[in-house]
Amino acid sequence: MNILLKAFLTNFCVVLIFSCKSVDRPYNYKRFPESFSDIRHEYKNYYHLTGCKQGETIASIGAGNGIKEVQISCFVEGITWYLQEIDSSRLYEFEKVLEYHENLIGSPIDADFNLVVGTESSTNLPHGTFDRILMLNVFHEIESRQGIMTEIHQLLNENGVLVIMERMGKMEGEVFDDCKYPKLLEPNFLQEMEDYGYELKTKQLGEEMSNLMFYAFGLGEGD
């Protein structure tokens, strides 16, 4: 009886240890990778569509804790990143995000990361610097977009590209379940971008079920 009880308690403790380990996350994110294959899945299914290239200087506006940018850097080396966020508490998690991913892949990530705290009216990013600017699932949350979208003209270099990822609405009145902001409708969104002086270069479907789209824009003529 004592032997059986001891075996039960040993097995219970092992299960408890592994259960606790699985929820003891070093940072808060719903797409939390448990293995390198999880990181590869995210990149191959979604983030390769950002078109990031080796050696580029890239700003990510609304980067949160930087998990998407760190995961891209697991596959594209030598990027100089500027991770911009108006909520500085989210940027505080970045070092834990980076350390966790480096431990998961077993090697340092070859990238240079700069953290930038912006405001609702200014990105605080350096002008004329960027080969690529990413806005990944943040465009719909910017309530007064005119100023920021105008500023981005000054941030991109001559051949720079703006990449916007959004889960587009399929009909009028749809809202996001989490943030409750209205979903964008593609015709309205593209017209808005044209009004800001951007020219659509490419659009790619990332996920059919959620209508996840990646749009790449260049600066229009005269900008």
- In a domain, residue 6? The reply is no
- In a domain, residue 4? The reply is no
- In a domain, residue 180? The reply is yes
pLDDT value of position 222: 55
Number of domains in the chain: 1
Three-class SS state of 137: coil
Distance CA 122, CA 117 (A): 10
pLDDT value of position 143: 82
Residue 164: how many other CB atoms lie within 10 Å: 24
pLDDT value of position 29: 55
- In a domain, residue 55? The reply is yes
- In a domain, residue 166? The reply is yes
pLDDT value of position 26: 54
pLDDT, block means (10 residues), the chain with 223 residues: 36 32 47 86 94 98 95 97 94 93 94 95 94 94 90 95 94 77 90 96 94 94 59
The domain containing residue 140 runs over which residues? 33-219
CATH number of the domain residue 117 falls in:
3.40.50.150
- In a domain, residue 20? The reply is no
- In a domain, residue 1? The reply is no
Apex 146 CA angle, 81 and 154, nearest 5: 45
pLDDT value of position 12: 32
3-state secondary structure 97-124: HHHHHHHHHCCCCCEEEEEEECCCCCCC
Distance CA 179, CA 19 (A): 30
| 133: Cβ contacts below 8 Å, ≥ 6 apart | 58, 59, 60, 61, 152, 155, 156, 160, 161, 162, 163
- In a domain, residue 83? The reply is yes
pTM of the model: 0.85
